[in-house]
Amino acid sequence: MTAVFLAVAGFALLVAVLWLIGAREPVLREKGPVWFIAMRGGDGALAPHARKLWSSTADQVFIGGGDDPYWTWFIIAAGDCATPLVTESFDDAYVARVRLFAPPRIALGLIRVLVASGILSRPSTENIATDAQSIGFKPDHMPSARAISQLLVRPATYAPAMVNFLRYTRDGAGRADYRKYGIVAMRTVFRTGGALLFYGAVTEIVRHAKAWPAGSLWHDVAAMRYPSPPAILSMEHVPAYRAALVHRDAGLERTVVIASTPT
């Protein structure tokens, strides 16, 4: 009886520790109405009834969308309102209601423990690819050599938040394909020392972008943060991640990824 009690208590303690570790992750878990905003120009100000949960300033395009990131600000805001924008003091904006998703805290804690213990090792940042266009996946879903070189000349202390705009091939089926990739990708991001910041499904577009070349018809938006530019490119060294890229190609119709600096 004592042995059973100790086993149950030990298991409960392990679960609690993993939950506490996972609870320290920066991933957003807001349950109420949430907005994703991409803003060009302006100062990033919101209406009084909107509460800013996270924001960043755009630095460069990493995948898709040409060379100009177009946007100045990315914002996640909360507030049950018609619009989270206070004025028209900006050049353009894309505003969407989103439903945030977050992995279980226990799962995040387990991944952190596996990485910290070395069971999931960190990929090497040496001999990283400088031309991802030639490794056999859809070129539109991979960074150009120019985008990679721009990223690598940034300071070693640069820890970008990579904001992802995702449009699936057949919505439901495409989303399922991309989810297979996403599970492996998130685990690999953690292996680099990075973290998931938010993942949101677009439920309603309340303001379309006027002139952004990549348009506004996105299904999901997400952001991951990495500890350094080489860490992003080191993911290609992980065989499981590279194998999962076939699911990304199958699921995505279009994507734009923009490197940004959290504010």
- Picking from 89, 94, 52, the residue whose alpha carbon sits closest to that of residue 207 is 94
User: Strand (E) positions, 27-186?
Assistant: 34-40, 51-63, 73-78, 92-100, 161-168
Q: How far is CA 229 from CA 11, 73, 78, 225, in A?
A: 38, 20, 30, 10
Mean pLDDT of the chain: 93
pLDDT band at 15 (very low <50, low <70, confident <90, very high): very high
pLDDT at 252: 96
Per-residue model confidence (pLDDT) at position 133: 81
pLDDT over threshold 90, residue 185: yes
Shortest CA distance to 131 belongs to which of 256, 233, 239?
233
Q: What is the DSSP letter of 132?
A: G
* Alpha carbon distances (Å) from 8 to 106, 110, 148: 17, 18, 50
pTM of the model: 0.94
The SS3 of residue 115 is helix
CATH code of the domain covering residue 9:
3.30.70.100
Give the domain extent around 10. Answer: 2-262
Domain count, the chain: 1
